[in-house]
Structure 1
Amino acid sequence: MDYSVFLQYLNGHINTSGTSGRYIIRFPHPAQYNECLRQLHRLRRKLPALKRVRTSSLLRAFLCPLGLPDKVTRNRFGVLVEEDSIVSVHSASPGKERSAEIPWGVRRIDAPEAWSLSTGSQIRIGVIDTGVDYSHPDLRYSLARGINLLNRVSLPHDDNGHGTHISGTIAASGGSQGIIGVAPRSLIYPVKAFDHNGSAYVSDIILGIDWCVRNHMHIVNMSFGMKNKSVSLQNIIRKAHEAGIIVVASSGNDKKSRSVDYPARYSQTISVGATGKNGRIAPFSNHGSYIDIYAPGEKIYSCWLGGGHREMSGTSMATSHVSGAIALLLSLRPGMTPDQVKRRIRRNARALPANSPLAKAGTGEAHASRLLRGKTKKLTSS
């Protein structure tokens, strides 16, 4: 099929100033995408605006800044068009700095008791976030190169702090002068999709997931969310799930009982709510039937920019504890499927206090040592 008319249309309507809307254009069939991609590469020299078109082979999609998307319809070109939405990280403002100590959340999920069995060795975790502080001493042995989707020629340096905090909870190995994360020998691959304000477009997250699948991540940590559903985001998460990748997502900080943010709402993720030091659901956390597991998320002490440490609260912080616990499990028992991991982490959770009215029956708090030892008893309070 000749896609020259379609590509000429894109070239004529791409706004290179960055002030226009952004859209995700999906192709229903692989052959259509492959042929249009081939023609895109051929025409880029002749039609220079096409250099602004990014592509996702996993989703079979073009990601474009377009001024007049209403004319790109299925009836005209045989493609599916979705507006590119903005997504935000799930955390509150950072708290004060404190002297270094073992974070209470790592102790709460009983990670130190699990380290005799596993420390997360050889497990690759894609953290789609604001990047990471590569100079942080606690993360010196925990970081791979990753990718910066906002600036492909640069390392995914963190200019916000959120991604560094998440990475510290998962995999810090700072020794006596720093902090220890849940899985200190796992390897973080930072995927910078979020800017200095903690905001990203769905298209950047799609490219991040695409990269994680192609680079064989075991786990993808998604400490962010949005209110509206994205079919494109759901489709690529499903593809990651089919590829055997465990996707862990934060539920949101809106105190809701009947809903959680996307992408945590998709069934192919492990959705995470937050608890406080008292073991109860944190006041800010979403809760109820959409939550798969809870984990510490209130006043969590972890790595920060400039080699320091900060407290932060949010379901983002809870999600990083769960990703770390899953890394411990996969290092000990490689080859487990995402569905097997979800069932196991739920069955081996610590029961929430009996007087926790916000909790869904049977949903508990992550417990790393039980998870590794494979206990499957009915939840009891502790």
Structure 2
Amino acid sequence: MKADEMWKVSTGKGVKVAVVDSGVSPDTPSLKGQVLDETPHAVGYKATKDYTGHGTTMAELIAGTGAGGGLKGLAPEAKIVPYRINADSLKDKVDQENAPKLADVIRAIADSDVKIISMSFGADAENSEDLAAFKYAHSKGKLMFAAAGNEAQKKNLIGYPAAYPYVVGIAASDEDGSVGKFSEHGNYVDLASPGLSVPVWCDEKLKAYCLSQGTSQATAIASASAALVWSAHPDWTANQVLASLIDTAGRDWARDDPSTYLGYGLIRPRKVLEDSGYKPVAADTDPLATENAEGVEEDPSAASPSASTSSQAPKDTSGGATSAAGSSSESSDDTTMWVTLGAAAAVLVVGGGAFAVIRSRRRT
């Protein structure tokens, strides 16, 4: 993504990102000073106690400084506001009773000065309270990103909150722009972001990094991309930031014919930042208006696991299906290699170039 070039223009300074996940530890070397003590008490149960390491990873991918051999995120001067939500992965009964509901968390964030909500989790059923909360957050000018899900090879169910109106559904791609074969697909996928071979904390002990893959990581990187753009253009609205990312996304198909697998294409914030004369859309223009009006649809060509061998399937990529910790329906991310903490930071330099993929049209 040529992060070094982008950082000459923007580092995310002045932008707050809410990480709604398994909690975020503020004590890793990379996150010291990056996690704000601004989580409202009513929804702040153990927000800074990460029970899996997942939320801490997402926070580092967004705003890690790279200190002490830790991850350097894509928006290293953005700030994180942590939230823990109730999920099936919470095994402790006391935690289950006290962790806030997603709808309550989203409403609390909506009433704060946080600009971006990053959600690396998912479920396969919608909830009326959650839907109302997301509509409320949209009305308050928040930009919301959520993981599309990692079960494409098994069941490829519609994933929420990614499929809710006004929430940007994120797929995972590799450094060449090919969609991960685990990445769920449907007309709720709006953008793709790097999500393969990304360093993550191996577990809740936060002692070592592993390489992993998932739409969780892709969502965090997409959220950081938005933070870079919003920091450079603080007067823009959420609609304008999102529209700029859609407009400049890497794709080899028509903008008005989004892909079922990759949405409007691979996110490329550099294309916005390097254009000093970039003109945003009108402040009240909804870049997802068509999707929000039509609602979510099943994709018949992609619903079956056998679609991986069809002419409409994504390119093959290495690795199996993984999923986000903190999900109400999925297990924790698979890991493939142990990486011990070294003296040098693991700088996020994942790809973001051109696309050359076989895709499925959303609508016929």
Quickly name the TM-score band, shorter chain normalised: 0.5 to 0.7
In the other structure, the counterpart of 1:311 is 211
Please say which of residues 360-369 and 134-143 is displaced more in the overlay: 360-369
- Do structure 1's residue 204 and structure 2's residue 104 form an aligned pair? no
**How many Å apart are 1:177 and its aligned residue?**
2.7
**How many Å apart are 1:339 and its aligned residue?**
2.3
Greater share of residues in helix? 1
1:249–1:263: 8 Å Cα contact kept in structure 2?
yes
**How many Å apart are 1:267 and its aligned residue?**
2.3
- Do structure 1's residue 193 and structure 2's residue 90 form an aligned pair? no
2:190–2:262: 8 Å Cα contact kept in structure 1?
no
Identity of aligned residues (%): 26
**How many Å apart are 1:259 and its aligned residue?**
6.0
Q: Distance in 1 between matches of 2:238 and 2:139?
A: 9
In the other structure, the counterpart of 2:324 is none
In the other structure, the counterpart of 2:117 is 220
- Do structure 1's residue 345 and structure 2's residue 248 form an aligned pair? no
- Do structure 1's residue 276 and structure 2's residue 168 form an aligned pair? no
Q: Distance in 2 between matches of 1:271 and 1:159?
A: 25
**How many Å apart are 1:346 and its aligned residue?**
1.2
In the other structure, the counterpart of 2:164 is 266
- Do structure 1's residue 167 and structure 2's residue 68 form an aligned pair? no
Partner secondary structure for residue 200 of structure 2: strand
In the other structure, the counterpart of 1:131 is 23
Q: Distance in 1 between matches of 2:150 and 2:29?
A: 30
In the other structure, the counterpart of 1:370 is 271
1:111–1:368: 8 Å Cα contact kept in structure 2?
no
| 1:6-33 CA-partner distances (Å, limit 9, x unpaired) | xxxxxxxxxxxxxxxxxxxxxxxxxxxx
In the other structure, the counterpart of 1:121 is 13
**How many Å apart are 1:176 and its aligned residue?**
6.9
Partner secondary structure for residue 137 of structure 1: coil
**How many Å apart are 1:113 and its aligned residue?**
1.9
**How many Å apart are 1:381 and its aligned residue?**
4.4
Partner secondary structure for residue 170 of structure 1: helix
Structure 2: which amino acid aligns with 1:373? Answer: E
Partner secondary structure for residue 248 of structure 1: strand
User: Aligned residue pairs: how many?
Assistant: 270
1:274–1:296: 8 Å Cα contact kept in structure 2?
yes
Q: Distance in 2 between matches of 1:153 and 1:234?
A: 22
| 1:106-162 CA-partner distances (Å, limit 9, x unpaired) | xxx333321110000010111111111222001112111244879857552111111
**How many Å apart are 1:270 and its aligned residue?**
1.1
**How many Å apart are 1:380 and its aligned residue?**
6.3
Q: Distance in 1 between matches of 2:19 and 2:213?
A: 18
TM-score normalised by L of structure 1? 0.63
Partner secondary structure for residue 30 of structure 2: helix
Matches within 5 A, 1:1-382: 109-147=1-39, 152=44, 154=46, 156-175=48-67, 177-194=69-86, 197=89, 204-255=101-152, 260-303=158-201, 305-351=205-251, 363-374=264-275, 381=355
Relative to 1, partners in 2 of residues 1:196 and 1:116: Cα closer, same or farther, differing over 3 Å?
A: farther
Q: Once superposed, what is the RMSD of the aligned Cα atoms? A: 3.2
**How many Å apart are 1:298 and its aligned residue?**
1.6
Partner secondary structure for residue 72 of structure 2: coil
Partner secondary structure for residue 190 of structure 1: strand
Partner secondary structure for residue 306 of structure 1: coil
**How many Å apart are 1:260 and its aligned residue?**
3.3
Q: Distance in 1 between matches of 2:237 and 2:128?
A: 23
Q: Distance in 1 between matches of 2:141 and 2:268?
A: 23
| 1:88-121 CA-partner distances (Å, limit 9, x unpaired) | xxxxxxxxxxxxxxxxxxxxx3333211100000
- Greater RCO structure (CA 8 Å; 6+ sep): 2
Q: Distance in 2 between matches of 1:195 and 1:160?
A: 12
1:150–1:193: 8 Å Cα contact kept in structure 2?
no
In the other structure, the counterpart of 1:51 is none
2:53–2:206: 8 Å Cα contact kept in structure 1?
no
